Structure 1
Amino acid sequence: MTSIDLGRPVQGDVVDLILDDHRRFEALLRDLRDSSSDRDAVRQAFAALHVAHALAEEKLVYPKLQRKRAVGEHEAEHGEVEHAEGHEALLAVLELKGTDTQAFDDAVEELAGVVNHHLTEEELSILNPARDEVGEQVRADLGAAFAAERNRLLDDGCGTLTQVREIVSAARHEGLLDDED
């Protein structure tokens, strides 16, 4: 559990809830870059939010948007690949002992690049079609389900080093990550 507030929405349009998390990721990345912040607490909070957000999207949001024909299989699969890449970059940040080293700064820079790329792409290729193609009630129902799953995962203490290692290992096994990385 983290002392950093990650929000606990219980309802809302799923697009807005996802965008709220995207802004949280950007703020947490700024704090990770800030040498005066409690970088260890920030990376734990980032890890918890990244895992809860990605798993809830993959379990509920992407499949529903595919069923509603708002996004195709390619967009959903690409989103999962980018989540896996984010988890992999996150793992590098979590595995470092110190937070005041060049290695930490380099790992944070890599994480920021991967995550910011995903946020931009998801907002353009998944959230815009969801907004345009899926009705308000469906987005509201999906928002409540997404929020509940996200909050459950956060309450269960997701985003531990062990869990992120397992997620990355499973992603490699499923072929979501290139072995060259």
Structure 2
Amino acid sequence: MSIDTTIDLGRPVSGDVVDLILDDHRRFEDLLRQLRSTASDRDAVRRAFAALHVAHAEAEERHVYPQLKKRRAVDAHEADHGEHEHAEGNEALLAVLECASTDTQKFDDAVEELTRLISHHLTEEELTILNPAREELGSEVLARLGEAFATERNQQIDADCGRTENVRRLVEEAREEGLIDEE
């Protein structure tokens, strides 16, 4: 199951990391709206959402959160909480990906839960991580982080990071690390 290239996920290569992350947040909101609509190609949208969600979270966790902690722009609790919410998002995403059909109540319920978790995370991250990052870091650091974030994000998408098997692996790893509870 590869990504549908008709859905634009963006290919940033540089920029202020906060702006790049916010651009992705707006893409998440748009993709979630499409995922809720029966007028959309919901299967293509869920694959695109999966690719963007995994790529975005991996790029933040590998490049952005560690630097924000190191530079004391955010405390460890905020960054760790962001990782916990990424893991929860992956778990909800896996439930959407594992639905055999996109025209069932099971799919709609899974999309509702995914929307709830992602909306909460976007709001919280914008308030408690991105605002402090913008206030505490200079434009040069934000640009360096933006380039690292964009590079990792694009590499993840190119590697088809949103495929169901990879999301399942990420969820299993998160459970082993205690980031999400065993079901």
Q: Normalised by the size of structure 2, how large is the TM-score?
A: 0.97
- The answer on 1:99 being equivalent to 2:97 is no
Match runs of 1:55-134 below 5 Å: 55-134=58-137
Q: Which residue of 1 aligns with 2:10?
A: 7
- The answer on 1:40 being equivalent to 2:38 is no
The alignment partner of 2:143 has SS state of helix
CA displacement at 1:179 relative to structure 2:
2.1
Q: Which residue of 2 aligns with 1:171?
A: 174
Whole-Å Cα distance in 2 between the matches of residues 2 and 130 of structure 1?
33
**Moved >2 Å (runs of 4+):** none
The alignment partner of 1:69 has SS state of coil
The alignment partner of 1:123 has SS state of helix
Whole-Å Cα distance in 2 between the matches of residues 152 and 174 of structure 1?
24
CA displacement at 1:2 relative to structure 2:
2.2
* Letter paired with 1:49: L
* Letter paired with 1:56: A
- Among 25, 28, 39, which residue is 2:28 paired with? 25
The alignment partner of 2:19 has SS state of helix
CA displacement at 1:178 relative to structure 2:
1.5
**Unmatched 5+ stretches in structure 2:** none
Q: Report the identity percentage.
A: 69
Whole-Å Cα distance in 2 between the matches of residues 72 and 61 of structure 1?
13
CA displacement at 1:158 relative to structure 2:
0.9
Whole-Å Cα distance in 1 between the matches of residues 16 and 133 of structure 2?
10
* Letter paired with 1:68: R
CA displacement at 1:156 relative to structure 2:
1.1
The alignment covers a number of residue pairs equal to 180
CA displacement at 1:13 relative to structure 2:
0.2
* Letter paired with 1:11: S
Whole-Å Cα distance in 1 between the matches of residues 90 and 160 of structure 2?
16
The alignment partner of 1:168 has SS state of helix
Whole-Å Cα distance in 2 between the matches of residues 143 and 55 of structure 1?
14
Q: Deviations over 1:75-94 (max 9, x none)?
A: 01000000000000000000
Whole-Å Cα distance in 1 between the matches of residues 177 and 129 of structure 2?
22
The alignment partner of 1:80 has SS state of helix
Whole-Å Cα distance in 1 between the matches of residues 44 and 8 of structure 2?
11
Whole-Å Cα distance in 1 between the matches of residues 32 and 152 of structure 2?
23
**Unmatched 5+ stretches in structure 1:** none
Q: Normalised by the size of structure 1, how large is the TM-score?
A: 0.98
CA displacement at 1:16 relative to structure 2:
0.1
